C-alpha cells in the first residue's frame, strides 16, 4: 500500500500576481520579492510538483510516469492515459488577467494535430487537451465571466452616447446571433482609433469597470469587449465555472482553481501577449450565460462540492471544528489535499503515517493508497478525478 506523501507546489511569478496573498497564506514574510501569481499543484509538465518519499524528493510527473496504474488507477489510465488529468492552483490576482477562452476536447485534438503537421501554422496550442476550469474564492474575488444578454449590453453602449459604436449596438440588437459580429468589430477596431474610443468610454463615466481596465491596459480592445460580459463578485466560498468556449477574465482576488491539465489559452485582450482574434472567435461559444455562479452541494456534514459536467476533475471543501471526528477523504484515484486554514492531517485509513497539511501546503494520495482519512481543525480543498 502506497503512503500519503507531502507535496510541494511551484509558484509562478506572472506580472499580475500578488506580492502578499500566497505568502500570507503560507505564513512567509510579505510583501514577497516579486509577484506570486499561481501556486501549481499537480503533474503538469510545465511545472510539476514535488513529492517527498522516504528516499528523498521526486517530481510527481516522474513518479506517475514510472507507475501510471499504481499512481492513477487503471480506470484513470484507461480514460485519460498515463497523465494526471487535472491541475490544482492557488491563484492570486492583483491586476486583471487576459481576456480568454479555451477550446473543447475535440477541437483541441484537431487543432493541435493540424498545428504539429504544419511548421508554418500559428502556435496557438501547447497540447491536445481541453481546459475547462472552476474557481472557488478564498477572498472577495472579481471576474468577468460569460456573455450578458445582448440587449442589456446594447442599452449600456447606447447610453454612452458615442455615435461610432452604432455598428456594435446594431449587432447586439439582433440578440445572440449578433454577438459574434459585435465581438469581432470590437476586437478588430482600427488601431489608430482604439485608444481615443476607450478614452471616450472612460470619460462618459458610466462604466467604472472600463475605467479600471483602461488604467491597466490603455488602448486594449479587451476593455471594450469586457462591457459585454457579466461582472461577477464572489464572496469567499462562492464559485464560478468556465466551460469550453466561455469568454472570461479574472480581475482581482485569491481563489482555489482547478482545471483540466492543459495550457491551451486563446487570448482576446487585456494582455501584452499574443492575440489571435480569428482563432479565438472559432472557439468562443456565443451564448448567454444565465448565471455565472456555480452553487455548492453538501455531500456530508462539513463537506461540499461543486458539480461540473466533466470527468477530468472534481473539487471538495472539507471543514473541521474542535469536535469533528476524522473523516473519510472524498473521491477516488489520485488526490491532492491543499490546506487553507488550521492544522489538518491526512493518512492512510489503516495504520498510515499522517501528513500534516497547513495553509498553503499539500499532500498527495496515490490511487493505490485506497481509503484515507482527514482529521484536525481547519479547512482543506481536495482535488480528485471526477469519475
User: Could you confirm whether 267 is annotated as catalytic?
Assistant: yes
Query: Which of 334, 335, 355 shows the shortest CA–CA distance to 346?
Result: 355
Residues 6+ apart with CB under 8 A from 285: 243, 244, 245, 246
**Which three cell numbers mark 193?**
482609433
Per-residue pLDDT of the chain (387 residues; tens, 9 = 90+): 579 999 999 999 999 999 999 999 999 999 999 999 999 999 999 999 999 999 999 999 999 999 999 999 999 999 999 999 999 999 999 999 999 999 999 999 999 999 999 999 999 999 999 999 999 999 999 999 999 999 999 999 999 999 999 999 999 999 999 999 999 999 999 999 999 999 999 999 778 899 999 999 999 999 999 999 999 999 999 999 999 999 999 999 999 999 999 999 999 999 998 899 999 999 999 999 989 999 999 999 999 999 999 999 999 999 999 999 999 999 989 999 999 999 999 999 877 889 999 999 999 999 999 899 999 999 999 999 997
Burial class (CB in 10 A: 0-12, 13-18, 19+), 336: buried
**Contact present, 6 and 349 (Cβ < 8 Å):** no
The pTM of the whole model exceeds 0.85 = yes
Which of 83, 148, 184, 267 is catalytic? The answer is: 267
Q: What are phi and psi of 287, to 5 degrees?
A: -145, 155
* Whole-angstrom distance, CA of residue 224 vs CA of residue 187: 8
Handedness of CA 46, 49, 53, 56 (dihedral sign): positive
Distances, alpha carbon 278 to alpha carbons 71, 185, 226, in Å = 40, 12, 18
- Could you identify the residue written with the cell 481615443? 196
CB-count exposure of residue 297 (10 Å: 0-12, 13-18, 19+): exposed
Q: How many residues does the chain have?
A: 387
CA atoms within 13 A on the CB side of 230: 21
What nine digits make up the cell of 154? 446594447
For residue 102, count CB atoms less than 10 angstroms from its CB and return exposed for 0-12, middle for 13-18, buried for 19 or more: buried
Amino acid at each position: 500500500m502506497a503512503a500519503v506523501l507531502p507535496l510541494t507546489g511551484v509558484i509562478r511569478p506572472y506580472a499580475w500576481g500578488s506580492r502578499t496573498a500566497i505568502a500570507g497564506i503560507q505564513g512567509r514574510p510579505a510583501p514577497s520579492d516579486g509577484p506570486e501569481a499561481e501556486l501549481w499543484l499537480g503533474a503538469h509538465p510545465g511545472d510539476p510538483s514535488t513529492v517527498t518519499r522516504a528516499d528523498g524528493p521526486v517530481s510527481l510527473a516522474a513518479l506517475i510516469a514510472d507507475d501510471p496504474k499504481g499512481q492513477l488507477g487503471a480506470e484513470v489510465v484507461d480514460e485519460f492515459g498515463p497523465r494526471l488529468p487535472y491541475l490544482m492552483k492557488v491563484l492570486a490576482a492583483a491586476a486583471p488577467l487576459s481576456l480568454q477562452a479555451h477550446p473543447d476536447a475535440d477541437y483541441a485534438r484537431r487543432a493541435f494535430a493540424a498545428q504539429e503537421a504544419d511548421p508554418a501554422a500559428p502556435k496557438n496550442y501547447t497540447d491536445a487537451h481541453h481546459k475547462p476550469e472552476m474557481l472557488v474564492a478564498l477572498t472577495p474575488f472579481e471576474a468577468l465571466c460569460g456573455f450578458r444578454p445582448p440587449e442589456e449590453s446594447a442599452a449600456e453602449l447606447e447610453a454612452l452616447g458615442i455615435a461610432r459604436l452604432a455598428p456594435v449596438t446594431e449587432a447586439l440588437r439582433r440578440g445572440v446571433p449578433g454577438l459574434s459580429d459585435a465581438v469581432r468589430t470590437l476586437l478588430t477596431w482600427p488601431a489608430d482609433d482604439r485608444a481615443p474610443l476607450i478614452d471616450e468610454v472612460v470619460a462618459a463615466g458610466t462604466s467604472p469597470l472600463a475605467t479600471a481596465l483602461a488604467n491597466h491596459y490603455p488602448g486594449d480592445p479587451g476593455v471594450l469587449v469586457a462591457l459585454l460580459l457579466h461582472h461577477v463578485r464572489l464572496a469567499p466560498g462562492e464559485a464560478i465555472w468556465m466551460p469550453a468556449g466561455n469568454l472570461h477574465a479574472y480581475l482581482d482576488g485569491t481563489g482555489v482553481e482547478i482545471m483540466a491539465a492543459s495550457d491551451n489559452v486563446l487570448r482576446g485582450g487585456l494582455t501584452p501577449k499574443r492575440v489571435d482574434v480569428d482563432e479565438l472567435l472559432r472557439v468562443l461559444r456565443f451564448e448567454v450565460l444565465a448565471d455565472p455562479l456555480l452553487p455548492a452541494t453538501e455531500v456530508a456534514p462539513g463537506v461540499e462540492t461543486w458539480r461540473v459536467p466533466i470527468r477530468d476533475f472534481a473539487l471538495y471543501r472539507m471543514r473541521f471544528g474542535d469536535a469533528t471526528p476524522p473523516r473519510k477523504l472524498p473521491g477516488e484515484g489520485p488526490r491532492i489535499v491543499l490546506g487553507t486554514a488550521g492544522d489538518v492531517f491526512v493518512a492512510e485509513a489503516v495504520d498510515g503515517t499522517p501528513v500534516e497539511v497547513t495553509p498553503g501546503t499539500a499532500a498527495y494520495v496515490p490511487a493505490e493508497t485506497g481509503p484515507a482519512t482527514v482529521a484536525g481543525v481547519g479547512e482543506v480543498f481536495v482535488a480528485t478525478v471526477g469519475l
